[in-house]
Amino acid sequence: MTNLSPATECSLDIGIGGMTCASCVGRVEKALKKVPGVHSAAVNLATESARVTFPAGSDQAAPMEALLRRAVRDAGYEPKEAQAAMDAPDAGPWAGFAPVAWGLALSLPLVLPMLGDALGQHWMLPAFWQFALATPVQLVLGARFYVAGWHALKNRSGNMDLLVSLGTTAGWALSVWLWLSAPDGDMVHLYFEGSALVITLVLLGKWLEARAKRQTTSAIRALHALRPERAHLQRPEGEVDVPVAEVLVGDTLVVKPGERFAVDGVVTEGATQVDESMLTGESLPVAKERDARVTGGSINGEGRVLVRVTQVGAQTMLSQIIRLVEDAQAAKAPIQRLVDQVSAVFVPVVLLLAVATLLGWWLTGHSFELALIRAVAVLVIACPCALGLATPVAIMAGTGVAAKYGILIKDAQALELAHQVTVVAFDKTGTLTVGRPQLTALVPLEAASGAVADSDVPMDPALLQICASLQSGSDHPLAHAVVSRASAQGVGLLPLSDARAVSGRGTEGLVAGARYALGSLRWMQELQAQPASTSPEGAGWAAQARLLEAQGASVSALAHHANGVWALRALLAFADEPKPGAKEAIAQLRALGIRAVMVSGDNWGAARAMARRLGMDARVGSDEVLAEVLPGDKAAKITALKGGSPAQYTVAMVGDGVNDAPALAAADVGMAMANTGGGGADVAMQAAGITLMRGEPRLVAAALDISRRTVAKIRQNLFWAFFYNVAGIPLAAFGYLNPVLAGAAMALSSVSVMANALLLKRWKGP
């Protein structure tokens, strides 16, 4: 799968079969990086895949993929399709257990004499039968270890398979030599049960790992399962079923009750309720009527609707969500670099320790037989499986359960940084507030008798008509509020021409041939606009604006340009409501010891009024409210919140629109509040490291919480992975662990790491 970036790089995902441990990861990465033109390569043991970046170009991808696949094969592994594991049907709980079952069946008769000795019984099998049972396990079931170990040797490196094959072969060969060299009639102690049981235990551990991996990828599998295979296409001759791959933008689809929407679109006919829980984590159905946006993968309710297609293929919201989760699960966390450095030298060091153990016991007067068994135990217990799995399985489990609740973590770096966040900066409009402000007052400056924000009071129709006409071409929430009020009051629109938006200030244009400007009070000051009226009401416009701001309103002004000067005509007051849960979200962050800051382009009065409603410190001089911040200045404010260089604080920025993208990128962790309707949130999603799929402020604390828990699991896993080896190798070298116990401990290390990571699946979001 190829993915073009906005810059000049191309990325390619390749599935890799046959990897067994962290050393395999290092060897595959080294092989991929040797391919000419490769910029970087990151291999993930848990997803059994690699992501490679190289220069973009129209003729680059196809030959590069062939070269990369050949490099993987030459390194001793099997190149596969990156999505093969995800697209395969769900395997049963016992899939792949057959080799383990055969190993257990052949090994148990060899182990029974050990149990008999404990009961005072002599159940030892004749040497020939021990050989007959152990050899198929060693040479048939264990063939995979020989093949992979041989490839490692050819590439002058080592891996888990090499350690297992060397250790078990030594035990098996020693037993054969003791059997064949013993005098006739002598009963000698053989070690067939050790080599057979070690291979069986390793196979059991790998089977448990594979089963756990299927659970960690369940979130991706569930998202893939949301894609319908066929759609009902509306044509002039009637309704036709077609594959979803043949649907084009602009087509009209019929969606019946209970069916999934095949692609993104807009409802053109009908009304229904839509279940978007798999995409957003929101359990309640969402009402959809004419002109409402719908998202592919969501479930239609009780109504039959017609939908005009707006996005298909990789451009749909579902495809973007899947890509975000896949990127996060395929990415390599910064903490993994330490593991890679250790793994690069791990196997050679273990081989040296095994040789030292053999020589140490032998040269101190012990039999070669005993010395070899001690060396075998060292080889078996030191397999670095758990090291390679510790980080990726925790990331997969954490990002998977987060996605279930509508929290999409874009990359492993964002996940690792989020647990360090000490300051969260919120954009106000649309993030902490509903984002649908209403026009509550329109105060003419020629005849004002006092400013009162009351949306129930009829407004001057002539002024309202001018304002609505000027704002009719704008997508700004305040513009929508003006146009909506005019529509509700039955006021029509006048012709608009030469309209232009002035960034961070407002809109200017010709309404019925007269030039007007509507925007912020700061812009009015820059234009040196003054009331045309000399009445006390007109002259006191600044006081009236302050009165409206004190009521918690955002205040704009309308100005008319004539005779070379701008004359103020009216003040407009807008009010928004806090989002449900916003106050609780601030309280949750405070309980976690995290400072919350509100960043707003509103005036100080309106910003402080909203901050008070949210339970924030709204006093003058408070560091929890930043007001009158222009869109272009938000990134600088985020940088300032970090506290200098080097940064004293780790800052997360939460925003929902196009103008928040620079600030999201400037923050240590950007959180975009998306919505399945697309729009400006799509831009914010690309700039942010974490995307919140619904406008729920409490998801911010939840995202930080799952980050903390995931990083904690990574650290726990790495501790146990290192602990098994640091404690196990000396115990094996000094004779406190025989090869069977060493094999069991090695298998247990991998399984315990997987099981610990899977505990994250029990996490519950808001």
Helical pair 192-216 and 127-136, crossing angle rounded to 10 deg: 20
Residue ranges of domains in the chain, CATH in brackets? 2-87 (3.30.70.100), 98-218+326-398+709-762 (no CATH), 229-261+264-311 (2.70.150.10), 401-434+577-704 (3.40.50.1000), 438-575 (3.40.1110.10)
Bond prior to 646 in cis (omega within 30° of 0):
yes
Burial of 476 (0-12, 13-18, 19+ CB in 10 A): middle
d(CA 350, CA 157): 12
Read off the amino acid at residue 373: I
Beta carbons within 10 angstroms of residue 348's beta carbon: 13
d(CA 566, CA 562): 7
**pLDDT score of 683 more than 60:** no
- What are residue 423's DSSP bridge partners? 595, 651
The confidence score (pLDDT) of residue 594 equals 93
Three-state secondary-structure class, residue 10: strand
Burial of 750 (0-12, 13-18, 19+ CB in 10 A): buried
Catalytic residues: 427
State the chain's mean pLDDT as an integer: 82
**pLDDT score of 322 more than 90:** no
> In terms of DSSP bridges, do strands 286-288 and 264-269 run parallel, antiparallel, or are they unpaired?
unpaired
Phi, psi (degrees; rounded to nearest 5) at 100: -65, -40
Three-state secondary-structure class, residue 236: coil
End-to-end Cα distance, the chain: 34
d(CA 20, CA 486): 67
607 compared with 184, residue with greater pLDDT = 607
CB 40 within 8 A of CB 103: no
Strand residue runs (E) in 324-403: none
d(CA 743, CA 721): 15
**pLDDT score of 679 more than 50:** no
Read off the amino acid at residue 513: G
Apex CA 65: angle with CA 60 and CA 71, to 5°? 125
C-alpha 8 chain-centroid distance: 24
| 150-160 mean pLDDT | 75
CB 343 within 8 A of CB 26: yes
d(CA 655, CA 431): 6
Beta carbons within 10 angstroms of residue 420's beta carbon: 15
Q: What percent of the chain has pLDDT over 90?
A: 25
> In terms of DSSP bridges, do strands 272-275 and 286-288 run parallel, antiparallel, or are they unpaired?
antiparallel
CB 760 within 8 A of CB 710: yes
pLDDT band at 144 (very low <50, low <70, confident <90, very high): confident
Helical pair 385-404 and 22-33, crossing angle rounded to 10 deg: 80
**pLDDT score of 585 more than 70:** yes
d(CA 45, CA 48): 5
Helical pair 368-381 and 336-363, crossing angle rounded to 10 deg: 170
Read off the amino acid at residue 480: H
Q: Which two tokens stand for residue 182?
A: 């013993």
CB 485 within 8 A of CB 438: yes
Strand residue runs (E) in 256-410: 264-269, 272-275, 286-288, 293-294, 299-300, 305-311, 407-409
Sign of CA dihedral 685, 688, 694, 695: negative
Which of 46, 29, 47, 25 shows the shortest CA–CA distance to 38?
Answer: 29
**pLDDT score of 238 more than 80:** yes
Strand residue runs (E) in 428-488: 438-444
For residue 459, what is the DSSP state? Answer: -
**pLDDT score of 213 more than 50:** yes
Give 602-611 pLDDT, tens digit per residue.
778 888 888 9
The confidence score (pLDDT) of residue 116 equals 59
Give 19-38 pLDDT, tens digit per residue.
877 678 888 888 999 998 88
The confidence score (pLDDT) of residue 676 equals 43
CB 497 within 8 A of CB 484: no
Give 96-140 pLDDT, tens digit per residue.
889 989 998 998 888 777 665 556 666 678 888 889 999 999 999
CB 554 within 8 A of CB 608: no
d(CA 313, CA 326): 16
Phi, psi (degrees; rounded to nearest 5) at 235: -125, 165
Which DSSP helix (H) or strand (E) runs through 561?
strand 554-562
The confidence score (pLDDT) of residue 62 equals 63
336 compared with 461, residue with greater pLDDT = 461
Q: What percent of the chain has pLDDT over 70?
A: 83
pLDDT band at 212 (very low <50, low <70, confident <90, very high): low
The confidence score (pLDDT) of residue 545 equals 86
Read off the amino acid at residue 214: R
Burial of 364 (0-12, 13-18, 19+ CB in 10 A): exposed
Helical pair 368-381 and 739-758, crossing angle rounded to 10 deg: 10
Give 438-490 pLDDT, tens digit per residue.
898 898 886 444 444 444 557 889 999 999 999 998 878 788 899 999 999 99
The confidence score (pLDDT) of residue 452 equals 45
Three-state secondary-structure class, residue 599: strand
